[in-house]
Structure 1
């Protein structure tokens, strides 16, 4: 079984790492906040005091981090210490530019795969994530299969690019539902009636995600993803929505909360004209 170093034990990373540990992989874990590693250590994982110590004996390095800045900081510590033959699987949502920058920093003999995931914490715990794998993922596909279904997307960076497209569409759909409900309020419609009508429309999936429970995708992470998207292309509607989510994320009660919590603020009638 491959020795795996798992770096980043946030809401998604912890259940993903737990599945690899349960499958029998020797697992070393690191997280910036060390206490997050304690539950996995109690189950048999080896906690590391730093990213470079975590990867010392690894065959596979998996990163599940908050964004491009966190990835760059980890790369500073890790990239010079990877031995030839190691595969680095980058599973965060960072966009294709960050993946290409990471590839440029790796030494010869280290393989990089970008494999961001679709799905929330519930699917991470169940091992039913959708994994979008770019680059030469053949060697690590059995490892990735422990976490969910693998879709090969093409060359390196294509997985990160497709994940950005999907997240932008999902967040955009949630934002459209919120503004549709704002319009309904401004027109004096019953909120429940408007929501039911939207749920029966082509926006049904977006409505379901806008009011989902038991899942988590932080409003602050939505701001991060939309920011990356609007840097990659001219997206006027998404740029306007980004400002809405930024205002929602400025509320301390909403910054780390699931995007469903932000819907109430985005759909507030006082914002209507």
Structure 2
């Protein structure tokens, strides 16, 4: 696809949280005409200064858009915003949902679309730093060819199959990651109880199969709130019998003061 031509397509981005804001900024910097909407309008200020247009409602944001991108917190938020934007979608519009809402909610949204509108479920792996760098792993279900230029600005696409399959794989990968962080946290607690230095435990854990989880525990520049991690685990445990992840879910909810902190906080 000619990226010069595609960059002239009108694009709407809805959901400017810690992930959505840097993702939208990348599209704006690449020259896409961008209209944005967020429940808290003040969060759009950095984008407006760079040339984006603020819409008052989701419907206003998508009414003239060729491509719509959503990055919303959970299934309830996705359903609520969909109820407002779906009636305003034009035939030929491509909707990319990068939220983590699970395959059931994704397929429910797809079933609500008017004729001629397509939904690509494209949840992402990676935190704020990777979103800003355009280095997200995009798990895409459905036909991504019409929006390949847009997705390329955000990261690398892994084709997962049909609609809902990207959302399904995201639950597998994110729950493995969250579970790994929880296990590192427990291992560090054990090391402390045994009188071992934390840095020694981290260094040796990092040299083994939990190296990725240790890297996440010690990462800077990431922000994946504990509350959203708990939501992702709940989506998984609502799908299958997963006793270990049920324990992880209780672990994530044990200290409500951490709900807005990065996931690594559970291993402090």
- Relative to the length of structure 1, the TM-score reads 0.93
Contact preservation (8 Å) 2:188, 2:267: no
Alignment of 1:129 with 2:136, yes or no, is: yes
Tell me which residue corresponds to 2:17: 10
Deviations 1:212-242 (A, max 9, x none): 1111111111011000010011110000010
Deviation at 1:82, TM superposition (A): 0.8
* The one of 145, 159, 168 aligned to 1:161: 168
Alignment of 1:23 with 2:23, yes or no, is: no
Equivalent residues in 2 for 1:1-273, closer than 5 Å: 1-248=8-255, 250-251=256-257, 254-264=258-268
Deviation at 1:189, TM superposition (A): 2.4
SS in 2 for 1:150: strand
Deviations 1:179-203 (A, max 9, x none): 1112222233232222222111111
Structure 2 residue runs without a partner (length 5+): 1-7
**In structure 2, what is the Cα distance between the partners aligned to 1:129 and 1:192?**
29
Which stretch shows the higher mean deviation, 182-191 or 239-248?
182-191
**In structure 1, what is the Cα distance between the partners aligned to 2:207 and 2:51?**
47
**In structure 1, what is the Cα distance between the partners aligned to 2:218 and 2:28?**
32
**In structure 2, what is the Cα distance between the partners aligned to 1:201 and 1:45?**
46
SS in 2 for 1:5: strand
Contact preservation (8 Å) 2:137, 2:155: yes
Deviations 1:114-166 (A, max 9, x none): 01111111111111111111111110111111111111111111111111111
Structure 1 vs Structure 2 CA RMSD: 1.0
Structure 1 residue runs without a partner (length 5+): 265-273
Contact preservation (8 Å) 2:136, 2:155: yes
SS in 2 for 1:146: helix
- Relative to the length of structure 2, the TM-score reads 0.95
Give the length in aligned residue pairs. Answer: 261
